[in-house]
Every structure is written in C-alpha cells, then in structure tokens.
A = this chain, B = another copy of it.
C-alpha cells in the first residue's frame, strides 16, 4: 500500500521526509562512499552527525549548558534502574508518583535499589486523573522525585510541572518529549525512549543536570554510569549510531516545522479535534479527566466492545493502522505524536463518524 497513517504508540510513525532522506542516503552519505551505519563512530563524518543532532536537540528543547545530553541504549526501561543506581548517592529513599502502568514499572524497578515512597497515586480512580498536588506526601530525605508526565497506555498527561522541593525532579518523557514547550530548568533529569517523538527504538536520550553526575553506586555497570557516558560524549563504547543519525534528521524536521512551540500548537489542535469529536458522539468515550487528557495518546472505547474487530478491520482497510488499545486495557488508542500529520487525525475522525453512523 502507499504510506498509511500509523497510530502505533511506539515504535511510531516518522516524518515521511525523514524516511525519504534516510532512503536516499542509505548507500552513500554525502559522498563518503558509505552508509551512516557503516561509519566509525569516531570518524569526522559521524562526529559531525552526532554533534549536530545534540546541538539541534538542545536548541529545540531549550537545554542550557548546566545539563549534559546523553545518547544511551537500552530504552527507557533501562533507565528505571539506571536512575536509582546513579542518583541515590548516600540516600536510601526516593519519591515516586504513580499515575499508571509506566509509573508502576519505574517504581517496581526502583524498589530493588531504594526504599520507594509513593508520594501520590491515582490508582484507586483507575488512573483517569492526576492526583491533586496539595495532597502529595513528599519526603524530607528523598534522593529525587520521579514522575511520568505522559502515561502512554492510560492516555493521561500532566498539565503542570510538580514541585519536588529540594529533591531533583526526574521525568520519563518518552511519549511527550518535544511535543510542547517545557521548562527544562525545573528538572534534574529527563529521559525519553526515542521510538515515539525522536526516532527509531534502540536509543534513549537523557538530559541530566551536571551537578547530579558522579554519584553512581559502586555496583553500577559502567555502561549505566552517567558520569562515564557524559565524560565520553556518549561514545564510551560504540553508540547506536544509525538511530542517533535518524534522531538528528527528526530534529532538523522539527526545526523546519517551527520548533517545539509550533509543534505544541499543532498537537493541541490535533488533540482537541479528536477529543472534541469523541465527546460529541455518544458512540465513543474517553474516560480521562478532560484537564489531564494526553495530547499524544488518545484511548477511546466504542459503545459496544463487540464492534471492536469490525472497527479495526474497517480502519485497516483505509490505511488507519494500529488503533487497537494496549493489551492491558483493551479498547482503542490513537497515538498522535509529532510525526502524525493533522490530515491523519482528520482521516481518523471521518472514519469514526462514518462507522458510528453505520453501526451506532
């Protein structure tokens, strides 16, 4: 088929122009006689690719020199252990906010290294909202406060940056990074698996305030030691070079779209259209507190679960792909990251309207 609209939560759709450039450069990057994936990571050509990507990322996200940017491997899930191993220092406890499945995974891994204090949880209400910060029980001696600004599976997103007091604030931004402006200076550490808003899987980007480096526990694997990775410009060993290159192409594309501010406006519009349509049609429902609905991941249900298969089949036939919800929650989910064009959201809405009319 021609290019479909791919609503997968990750690995996710990439800008078509990025893929075209990657295709055109596959056998010979700018006259070097080789593909980027064949280049020594220490070659001038790759170092230029890597440094340009970091510079563009810093510019897009507004990251000051107080922070190191690391291009690591192992996905966000590896960071679930890397974070306590590096940030606990002499402390023994960390604060975590529980707003869904990804929060819980981060918590479960941290519990293997630290005493975890659950500052707040929306579990009792089925993770459909964000706990009111006035109720949070922040610890006095936590090494850091961890939260998940956007829950990819639940489709719930913070519209504020929590106050972590004197403890550094740590955020899993895998599914929200670069989707709207964020004040990075409020954070001690931000991490993001690449396969949603940055590039292909196999890369995780870490933004860490430099004063937090150098505190890794003795048992930390060297490849997980932020200080080591920072000291070597993310090239202590061979990094995921091709993923890094593709991330760089995505950053260039984002800049051409007007950057994160312009992207945020488009994303707001895409989300408002889709939620607006759902709210206006009894046939569809979204369970999330409207204030905290994710701009990136839009879960929804049909009036009758028995129609799910027919809905997905019809969607597939129109090239609207991967709309099934996560196996842990069921229903539908449309992930509408940066690279999902507004026309894709329009096509989805049109299909949903027709399906509801036929079957509702």
Contact = CB atoms under 8 A, between A and B. Distances in A.
Nearest to A24: B23
Given A201-B239, A202-B243, A242-B200, A223 B6 contact: no
A43 interface: yes
A213 to B, nearest CB: 19
Interface in A204-228: 218-219, 221-224
Interface in A258-310: none
B22 A3 contact: no
Interface in A4-58: 4, 6, 8-14, 16, 19-20, 22-23, 26-28, 31-35, 37-41, 43
A240 interface: yes
A219 B113 contact: yes
Interface stretch (A78-86, A122-130, A142-150, A347-355): A78-86
A74 B74 contact: yes
Nearest to A240: B202
A1 interface: yes
12 contacts: A3-B34, A8-B43, A9-B40, A12-B38, A14-B35, A23-B23, A77-B222, A78-B237, A80-B221, A202-B203, A221-B224, A242-B242
B37 A27 contact: no
Contacts of A28: 1-3
The interface residues of chain A, by DSSP majority, are classed as loop
A241 B11 contact: yes
* Size bracket of the A interface: 35 or more
A260 B272 CA distance: 56
Contacts of A201: 37, 41, 238-242
Contacts of A321: 33-34
A69 interface: no
Nearest to A218: B112
B109 A221 contact: yes
A202 B73 contact: yes
Q: For the complex formed by this chain, how many copies does it contain in all?
A: 2
A233 interface: no
B31 A13 contact: no
Contacts of A240: 73, 200-202, 240, 243
A78 B73 contact: yes
A330 to B, nearest CB: 15
A195 interface: yes
A76 interface: yes
B40 A8 contact: yes
Nearest to A78: B223
Contacts of A195: 238, 241
A113 B217 CA distance: 13
Contact of A33 (B1, B74, B80, B241): B1
A223 B22 CA distance: 30
A319 interface: yes
Nearest to A40: B8
Given A20-B27, A239-B201, A222 B4 contact: no
